[in-house]
Structure formats: structure tokens, C-alpha cells
Structure 1
Amino acid sequence: MQRRDFLGLLAAAAIWPRAAQAAAVTRMMVGATPGGGTDLVARALAAELEQRLKQSFIVENRGGAAGNIAAMAVAKADPDGGTLLLSYTSHAINPALFDKKPFDPLKDFTPISLIASSPLVLVSRPDLGVGNVRELIALAKSRPGKLSLAVAGVGSANHLAGEMFKREAGIEMISVPYKGAAPAVADVVACQADLLLGNVATVQPLLQAGKIKGLGVSTAQRLPSMPELAPIAEVVPNFDYSSWYGLLGPAGMPADTVGQLGKAVRTAVASPAMRKRLQGEGLVPVGSDAAEFTRFLQSEIARWAKVVALTGTRVG
């Protein structure tokens, strides 16, 4: 081995492998069950990081309490880089949603990187008789309290965005809670529910098959994968809500470990393979640095707190 190669390996060992020495396997905690969007992002990222950091990353699912169980485990973990959290939007929503707050979403964690965002799509049962958001609002106003909105999880970003849509559009609809996106969208397909505000990955195959009707997207701009659907904001000004996924560690992680891990995450998210994987699931790759993710979290916590207050949503 040449001297410069040896020095390169030595320098690398002084940064990220400090965490690797403390934990032979890095656990990536996921506050959701296997097979969902959060789990998919976690496993794709873990595989990429293993290649780049030559360190084992194991995804550990701890669903329940809207992600709080997994988050609490990470908040209590040693800040050596051996335990990480693949968080999602609920991390910013839960502080305002739950009466009992088991942790502080910022002070008890070290933000590392925002991985991706997940736009929402407003869809209807195929025979509802409307083709866009403007027509839906007109129908809802003519039949106040008669239309139903399927809700995939009380207190989720999808639920709260749906409540804000009703509020800002000035319409009355019945929100019907379901235990997850699968049964919610199934009832829309079966015409047992009228509407759903769902993630792209959930609704796109059904849209393509003609089993549901797309009405609009939750982002300020049209989505490249669905250019025919106009933003809801064109009818309901400033309507802009998306889910997201980010990587956090326990509070007090060493700056050099955070920097090395964040760099690996950004490189992974920018890679053609992972971008294709994320975009194939309807996600928008981001890959921010720690400071950007910290600012994003601060703004999201404040924004969702206002939404929870305006909608009066509580979990307990």
C-alpha cells in the first residue's frame, strides 16, 4: 500500500469510523411498519450508505404512536452514530398533536439531512362526476356535509392537509378515518368513499388504471409525473402541503460524524440509482445539509402547530 493511500484510510478512520468503532452495526429506526413509504426510503438509504461508508446499516421497524415510539428510542440512544431515525412529517406534527410530549423534536435530536418530499394528490371515486378542484368545490357547496373524505391516519399530514383544504375552500365534508392508506384508497376505488388526499406512490397506479380520478396536486407547481393535474393552489390560494422524510440522530452527536454522515447521505440521494428509486415512488429527492434540515424542521414545526390549532385536531 502506498503511503498516501494509507494516510487516506487513516483520515477516514478518524471521522466516520469513530462511530463504527462504537457500534459494529448502525441501526436505522423507522416509526412505521415494513412495506410503507417510510420503510422504503429507509431501506434504500441504508443500502446506499453501506456501500459508501463500508458500515452495516440495519433498518429496525418500531411502528406505533405516529412515529413516537421509534423517535423516543433514538432520543435515548448514545450519540455515537450507532442509532439513527428515518423520520417523516409526523415528527414535526406530533408536538402540537399530542398532549403528552415524550421528547422535544429539535432539542433531543441531531438533524442530519432532509432526504425527500412526497407531494399529495387529491383524487375522487371515478363516478363522482367532477374533473377538477373547481368542479369539486362547486359540488361540495351544493351538497354541504354530504361528500366523504377518506383519511389515512388521524393527525397525519394527509389528514391535516385535507382539513385545511376544506377550511380554505369553504366547504363541508365528512372526514372518515382509516387505519392506513390501503383501506382508505380501497374504499374510494369501491365508491364507498368519495375523496382521498394521498401520496403519489399510493394513487398513481390506480390513476393510470382509471380506477380513480385525479383532481389536483398539493404542491405549488405541477408534478413532472402528472403534468395534466393542476395545483390545488390555482383555486385555493397558497395551498401547499407535502409529506417528507429526513434523517436524524440523538442530540449531541459529534460534528465530524454528522458532517461525514451527511455528506454520504447527500451523495447517495444524488446518485442516479437512488434518484430513480425515489422518483419511481413519486418522491422528490432533496438531500440537504444539517443546517438546512434544521431550519426546515423549525419552519415545519411552527407551520403544523398552526394547522393543528386551526383544525382543532387532537390525539390525546
Structure 2
Amino acid sequence: MKTFIRGVFVVVSTFAMCAAAFAQTWPARPVKIIVPFAAGGPADNYARFIAQRLSESLGQSFVVDDRPGGGSIIGTDVVAKSPADGYTLLLMSNTHTVNETLMPGKPFALMKDFVGIAPINYSDLVLVANPSVPASNLKELLALAKAKPGKVNYASSGPGTPYHMAGELFKSMSGVYLVHIPYKGSSGARTDVMGGQVELMFDAVTTMAEVIKAGKVKAIATTGLQRSSVLPDVPTVSEAGVPNYEATIWLGLMAPKGTPKAVVDRLNEAVSKIASQPDVKAAWGKQGATPLVMTPAAFDKYLQDDIAKWSRVIKSANIKAE
């Protein structure tokens, strides 16, 4: 028995030493960050920002590779099937936690086939209304929706998108019934809200800030737990009448399951340092984004909680993927 225990100890110690040595030499070649969303969007832009800063801090190139399609499924599956060696990473968002319930037939499972590295940041949305809507604040909007159930509608960029899920969570928590009008992208939805064909929309704060200032829509409330730095005079949904409501767009990094813990920890430390830098906080603040800093274990818990949150909303509203 003692011989067996000594043998196990030697194996474990050797494995630990090899993992530590690998982490010290990693990255020895360029690292790819796959973004399963379209180029030019927020996910792509923040991925390129993080890639540049990681290149500077870790002394090796981090290259962004956009692989959009299938509601994030195509690019994500590429990462799931990649070697777990720290050289292929996934830029992910809450689209992924929504898809765990919305798309049960996808070829991977987030918490089974990936390991969380670190969150990056989150951005608030804003609930806006066409100027003709007879409600200028959340209290008045709730009263209007309750007085006219099924007569007030809201646009989104499509089923299962963060904008759609924000609306369904709002319906669930406020007890009002709004009709969902899905579009194939945000631009068409935005145009019709400004034109008065649709009354309401949840949209990105930074996208809508100038539109609000121009009077083309009116801001009802923002969706974070604290007021947005971009729209500080607009109350949150939570403070204005739906306590504890929160629906944001957040981003993070994951890697294939089995990626060495030492590499995950090193990446987490590097990303956390980047997100904590004063110039980064200031730059992101102007864009309506707030840094998120967590350990890998805390990030895994965050992911699990988000999956559960949106699963309840999807099942309650009977939401189906396109």
C-alpha cells in the first residue's frame, strides 16, 4: 500500500511539474481568439482590444478570427473541437448562456465542453419609446400596458437575442403583456421604433444615446442595477418600478475543456489586470461598458447562474429558436 501511495504521489507530482512548466513556456506561438459573431460589432471590437493588450502583456500575438453564423453556434463549435492547449480561445457572451436552453440540439454544452477563463465587461441596455407613446417614464408605461394588454408592442433584433430576452424578462417581472415584434437585425427594429410602427425597444445604450438626444425616441429606463454612465439622468428599470430587474450584454473568454489550469489562471490574471487599468475603465465607461473581474471559479458560477436565469424566462415564455 505504501508503495502504491508513493507511486501515485510521484505521478501527481510529475503531472503538476509538467503543467507548471507548460504554463511558463505558454504562449510559445500565436493564440487565436474565435469570435462567433459578425465583424465590426461590440464582441469583435472588444475581442480586438483584449487581443492587443494580451499581446503586449504576454509577449505573443493574439489573433482575432471572426466565425459568425448559426446564432453563434458555428464559431463556438470550432473552439469546442479544438485542442485544449491554450492556443484557441472563445470570445463569448450571454447569447451562449441563453442558447443552452434555446438550442438544446447544438453540438456542444457550454459547461461540459468549455472552461471559463474570465469575464471582460458588461453593457447596459435602454428601454426606449416612440415619442407618440403616451408614457414618459416607467410608471406611466406600466400603467399603459396594464390598461391595454396586448396592444403595446416592442421590437427586437430576433428571437433569443439579448434585446428580446430583456423584453421577456421585463414582461415576466413586471406582470405586463407586451407583444414581441422580431426583426432580422437591430437596424430595422430601430428604424421602425423611430418611425412609430412599433412602440418600444430595448437597445444598446451607446447606440441609442444620440438618438435620444435628438428626440427621435424617448428614454424610459436603463437595464443595469446602477445608472448608466452614458445616460446618468435616466433611472434604471429596477429603481423606477421593477425591483431587481437586470438585463445586460456581457462578454467573456472561455477555452476548450481540459485546457491546463495554469494557463487558465495566467490568462485570468492577465485579463483581470487589463480590465482593472484606469485608462481602460475610462475608455469603456465612455462606451457604456463596465469591467467585470472574477476568478475562474467565480466566473463558472456566474455562467451557471446566467444559464438558470434565462432558462426560467425561456420556458415561462415558451420561446422557440428561429
Give TM-score, length-normalised by structure 2. Answer: 0.88
Q: Residue type of the partner of 1:183?
A: G
Q: Does 1:122 align with 2:127?
A: yes
Separation (CA, whole Å) in 2 of partners of 1:174 and 1:275: 37
Q: Residue type of the partner of 1:43?
A: R
Match of 1:295 in 2: 301
Q: Does 1:138 align with 2:143?
A: yes
Structure 1 residue ranges, 4+ long, deviating more than 3 angstroms after superposition: 13-19
* 8 Å contact kept, 1:19–1:80: no
Match of 2:212 in 1: 207
Separation (CA, whole Å) in 2 of partners of 1:204 and 1:90: 23
TM-superposition CA deviations, 1:111-132 (whole Å, max 9, x none): 1101111222111112223211
* 8 Å contact kept, 1:266–1:288: yes
Q: Does 1:20 align with 2:12?
A: no
Match of 2:72 in 1: 67
| Distance apart, 1:38 and its partner CA | 0.9
Query: Over the residues paired in the alignment, what is the CA RMSD in angstroms?
Result: 1.8
Match of 1:6 in 2: none
Separation (CA, whole Å) in 2 of partners of 1:83 and 1:128: 48
| Distance apart, 1:213 and its partner CA | 0.6
TM-superposition CA deviations, 1:264-301 (whole Å, max 9, x none): 11111112332233222211111322111111111111
* 8 Å contact kept, 1:219–1:240: yes
Distance 1:18 1:314, change over 3 A: farther
TM-superposition CA deviations, 1:236-276 (whole Å, max 9, x none): 23322222100001111111111111111111111233223
User: What secondary structure does 2:127 align onto?
Assistant: strand
Q: Does 1:275 align with 2:271?
A: no
Separation (CA, whole Å) in 1 of partners of 2:36 and 2:300: 20
Match of 1:181 in 2: 186
Separation (CA, whole Å) in 1 of partners of 2:33 and 2:294: 18
TM-superposition CA deviations, 1:92-150 (whole Å, max 9, x none): 11111014131111121111101111222111112223211111112222333222201
User: What secondary structure does 1:123 align onto?
Assistant: strand
| Distance apart, 1:42 and its partner CA | 0.6
Separation (CA, whole Å) in 1 of partners of 2:210 and 2:124: 15
Match of 1:110 in 2: 115
| Distance apart, 1:85 and its partner CA | 0.5
Match of 1:48 in 2: 53
Separation (CA, whole Å) in 1 of partners of 2:205 and 2:291: 14
Q: Does 1:233 align with 2:253?
A: no
Distance 1:281 1:16, change over 3 A: farther
* 8 Å contact kept, 2:222–2:228: yes
User: What secondary structure does 1:193 align onto?
Assistant: coil
Task: From 87, 100, 106, give the equivalent of 2:105.
Answer: 100
* 8 Å contact kept, 1:126–1:212: yes
Separation (CA, whole Å) in 2 of partners of 1:153 and 1:48: 33
* 8 Å contact kept, 2:172–2:313: no
Match of 2:62 in 1: 57
| Distance apart, 1:15 and its partner CA | 5.3
Distance 1:67 1:263, change over 3 A: same
Separation (CA, whole Å) in 2 of partners of 1:306 and 1:238: 16
Task: From 305, 308, 313, give the equivalent of 1:307.
Answer: 313
User: What secondary structure does 2:110 align onto?
Assistant: coil
User: What secondary structure does 2:190 align onto?
Assistant: helix
| Distance apart, 1:222 and its partner CA | 2.2
* 8 Å contact kept, 2:229–2:288: no
Match of 1:266 in 2: 272
* 8 Å contact kept, 1:74–1:83: yes
Separation (CA, whole Å) in 2 of partners of 1:189 and 1:206: 9
Separation (CA, whole Å) in 2 of partners of 1:295 and 1:276: 28
Please say which of residues 28-37 and 169-178 is displaced more in the overlay.
169-178
User: What secondary structure does 2:319 align onto?
Assistant: coil
| Distance apart, 1:80 and its partner CA | 1.2
Separation (CA, whole Å) in 2 of partners of 1:41 and 1:307: 28
Gaps of 5+ in 2: 1-19
Give TM-score, length-normalised by structure 1. Answer: 0.90
Structure whose CA Rg is larger = 2
Gaps of 5+ in 1: 1-12
Please say which of residues 245-254 and 55-64 is displaced more in the overlay.
55-64
Please say which of residues 281-290 and 44-53 is displaced more in the overlay.
281-290
